[in-house]
Structure 1
Amino acid sequence: MPDPLQPDWLQIGAKHLWLPYAQMQTAPLPLPVVRSEGVRLHLADGTSLIDGIASWWTQAHGYNHPHIRDCVAAQLEKLPHVMLGGLANEPAMRLAARLAKMTPGDLDHIFFSESGSVSVEVAMKMAIQYWINRGKTGRTRFVSFRHGYHGDTMACMSVCDPDEGMHGHFKGYLPEQIVVDLPRDAAGEVAFDALFAARGHEIAGVILEPLVQGAGGMKFHDASVLRYLRQATDRHGHLLILDEIMTGFGRLGTMFAGEQAEIVPDIMTVSKALSGGTLPLAATIARRHVFDAFLSDRHETALMHGPTYMGNPLACAAANASLDLFEREPRLQQVAAIERQMRAELEPCRGLKGVVDVRVKGAIGVVELDRAGEGAWLRPHFLKRGVWIRPFGNIVYLAPPFVINEQDLHQLTSAITDVMALWSRERA
């Protein structure tokens, strides 16, 4: 029987839509969202939720920001899409120039795609061909790190954590990469240098998420780790790739996380907040020496890649509007305020039985549990408190829109402290 409390489109579509990260035999119906504004999601039954995770960390400026909406609407009337192969559009050209100007150092060559995973695929392909074009063959492996996550497409899965991640089923099919611990101390640095001395001839590049490893468990590391990795890759003559898909555009308090270590990677990937959470868009950004390795009179040295919707005018118009807002409005100051409030208001969780850590960096707050798989119990309790918080693995976390006010953020943090106290009493 149809559920009279649910819209018909939800019940009809649920028979056919394959949901992400869900066991479809047991997954409950997703919540039907009919409208969004600011930090709120409005449901079909008239209730609303404060979004504590910004739709997978994309909504830097909040939902349905009028400036982004108006820029996309204006672009829609003129040119919704045109291929980037042999043709050009103004939003893409202007966005490429703006990104080149705002990214650190000489990261000034922009390759657009439609998703973060594809931007990482392009970065890996770019790194391998960089060495081929320079006459060095056999450099086909990447060094990545435990607890790392870089996407769900095939090459991306190969540089994710093979043991702690979601992709263990594909062992034997995926390329075998070199996955090691982050070099956090002197012993780790010695081991890392030894790895390059032994296998440097195989390695095309080193890839990591700077300062925070996101979907691998919101694991934090210091800027000193980034500085060491930049020094080590320079010393051994290798490429450093920073995956800033989650960390880029202010999430950690600077426009790009690598800035906090004062380093410039050879290749950087960005997505998520790039378009203000409005339309799919990503970019792989290369330094000049990487770009120059592809220049010659021979066509075979060109980067043979071209996503159909790369440089889509609507998505680039949204991204240009998003960059306008970063220039006009105090986003980084807002992130600093969010950090201070979360640091104070999540701290009571630290003493609860079953909680092993509470940590905050920028606009990310994490409560780590001593066990995984508690999300099914926790989520309904969060919903009762009017918030959308989606625990995964053994963490409960917040990554709200930067425009959230103090009262709404308090509702999120108090929901976590209340629910974790209840969980601690009943489940731990």
Structure 2
Amino acid sequence: MNTKADELLAFDRRHIWHPYTSATTPLTTYLVESAQGVRIQLAGGESLIDGMASWWCAIHGYNNPILNQAAKDQIDSVSHVMFGGLTHRPATELCKLLIDISAPNLNHVFLADSGSISVEVAMKMAIQYWQAQGKGNKNKILSPRGGYHGDTFAAMSVCDPSTGMHHLFSDAVTQQVFTDRPSCVFGSKFSPSSTTDLENQIKENKDVLAAIILEPVVQGAGGMWFYHPDYLTRVRELCDEHDILLIADEIATGFGRTGKLFACEWASIEPDILCIGKALTGGYMSLAATLATSKVATGISKNGGVFMHGPTFMGNPLACAVALASLRLLLESDWELKIQNIQQQMSSTLEPATRINSVKDVRVLGAIGVLEMNDTVNVETAQAFFKDEGVWIRPFGHLVYIMPPYIINESDLNTLCKSMLSFANSLC
């Protein structure tokens, strides 16, 4: 590695605070020189196959010429303009497309900065909706344990309060209502008893519940847990029975990751509010959206009411233009077949892990492959191991998982899976 690269890494280690790490004894970082397709090129010369799609957003891989061109074309027109009192073509065309491809009942779009903010917006929508109906006491959110919805304060309040990464803030965040994690495993026979605690919590708290928030079918950063779609069906029924709004957090699951365009489609349900982000721009820049029904939008707006949120970079034209190009690229591709092929290959290649002593469980759904280990994984050790294997995989907790770009070929996906098996064997 050259001297300049060494200087950059030394500065980074001394002064830059990376996510979920110590400022004084940080995890090792690797300097990226460039990225192309599914490969990340390091300054030291190593080329790594990316198994993470940069935290699940780079579904088309890196340096995509169509997305590059969309950004170049837009930046020559207007890169940003305030969204208060002004609008523009990229935002209007993007919102129209989002309404066209999402659940039929969702026809109002609020553009946000990031996934966490889209959750904050959704929670504010739910609470403000009930305020407008004269029911300000309905201001609590119910969330299944094992869930993860972001790192900002309201979002933290609906993440798992005990096992989640935000337990340090349990005394500082708003106290919400929690129910048992969905116990009914995806692909197994549904057990009605899996919603017993949910039903009890709703009956006990229905007068104060504004909404239920959940990640449909896949609980992501809370444990990569895949649960039965019939659980979603029952949640929708209970919300309707008890006059509670349903917020679907599809930030991680939206845009094909589970094998459906949106994970709610596994249960054929329509949420009242939908949160999307991550893959929205194909990993090019931060953008998210919160979609709502007319019931929610007009309910908030009646009697002259206005929704009280307005980010500075809301509707950023550059991000909207790239998002529009990314969604068109996805929808015009044979994405369903790609996801099916990825799932089939991961299922067969990772199957030997069921016989490795360090592995507790193997789970595959859509373009998500997971090894749940018996013990917590040392991230520093794992990152170094995978780098030497020529892949980029970043575990967390007990989980070693991959969510690769959809464009990955059979050979590169095989390398990722074999590296996961090698790592699991190294722990025995």
What is the TM-score normalised by the length of structure 2? 0.96
The 3 A distance-change label for structure 1 pair 89 and 14 is farther
Aligned residues: 421
Q: Which of residues 321, 324, 329 in structure 2 aligns to 1:325?
A: 329
Structure 1 SS opposite 2:178: strand
Structure 2 SS opposite 1:248: coil
The 3 A distance-change label for structure 1 pair 371 and 75 is same
* Structure-to-structure mapping, 1:367-378, within 5 angstroms: 367-378=371-382
- Return 318-327 or 114-123, whichever deviates more: 318-327
* Structure-to-structure mapping, 1:349-360, within 5 angstroms: 349-360=353-364
Structure 1 gap segments, 5+ residues each: none
In structure 2, the partner of 1:257 is 263
- Cα distance in 2, alignment partners of residues 228 and 395 from structure 1: 29
Q: Which of residues 282, 289, 306 in structure 1 aligns to 2:295?
A: 289
**Given that residues 113 and 119 in structure 1 are in contact (C-alpha distance below 8 angstroms), is that contact kept between their aligned partners in structure 2?**
yes
In structure 1, the partner of 2:219 is 213
> Structure 2: which amino acid aligns with 1:115?
S
* Superimposed CA distance per residue, residues 313-364 of structure 1 (whole angstroms, 9 cap, x where no aligned partner): 0000010000111122112211111000000000111111121100100000
* Structure-to-structure mapping, 1:113-262, within 5 angstroms: 113-183=112-182, 184=184, 185-262=191-268
* Alignment partner of 1:103 is 2:102: yes
- Cα distance in 2, alignment partners of residues 415 and 56 from structure 1: 19
Percent identity of paired positions between Structure 1 and Structure 2 = 43
**Alpha-carbon distance, 1:306 to partner:** 0.3
Q: Which of residues 328, 342, 347 in structure 2 aligns to 1:343?
A: 347
Structure 2 SS opposite 1:6: helix
**Alpha-carbon distance, 1:13 to partner:** 3.7
Structure 2 gap segments, 5+ residues each: 185-190
Structure 2 SS opposite 1:85: coil
- Cα distance in 2, alignment partners of residues 186 and 297 from structure 1: 42
* Superimposed CA distance per residue, residues 262-318 of structure 1 (whole angstroms, 9 cap, x where no aligned partner): 0000000000000111011000000111111122342xx210100100100000001
- Cα distance in 2, alignment partners of residues 49 and 257 from structure 1: 30
**Alpha-carbon distance, 1:3 to partner:** 8.3
- Return 375-384 or 275-284, whichever deviates more: 375-384
What is the TM-score normalised by the length of structure 1? 0.96
- Cα distance in 2, alignment partners of residues 198 and 421 from structure 1: 47
- Cα distance in 2, alignment partners of residues 5 and 394 from structure 1: 36
- Cα distance in 2, alignment partners of residues 360 and 6 from structure 1: 38
The 3 A distance-change label for structure 1 pair 297 and 236 is closer
- Cα distance in 1, alignment partners of residues 11 and 202 from structure 2: 55
- Return 400-409 or 163-172, whichever deviates more: 163-172
**Alpha-carbon distance, 1:191 to partner:** 2.9
**Alpha-carbon distance, 1:23 to partner:** 1.6
**Given that residues 274 and 282 in structure 1 are in contact (C-alpha distance below 8 angstroms), is that contact kept between their aligned partners in structure 2?**
yes
Structure 2 SS opposite 1:290: helix
**Given that residues 374 and 394 in structure 1 are in contact (C-alpha distance below 8 angstroms), is that contact kept between their aligned partners in structure 2?**
no
**Alpha-carbon distance, 1:133 to partner:** 0.7
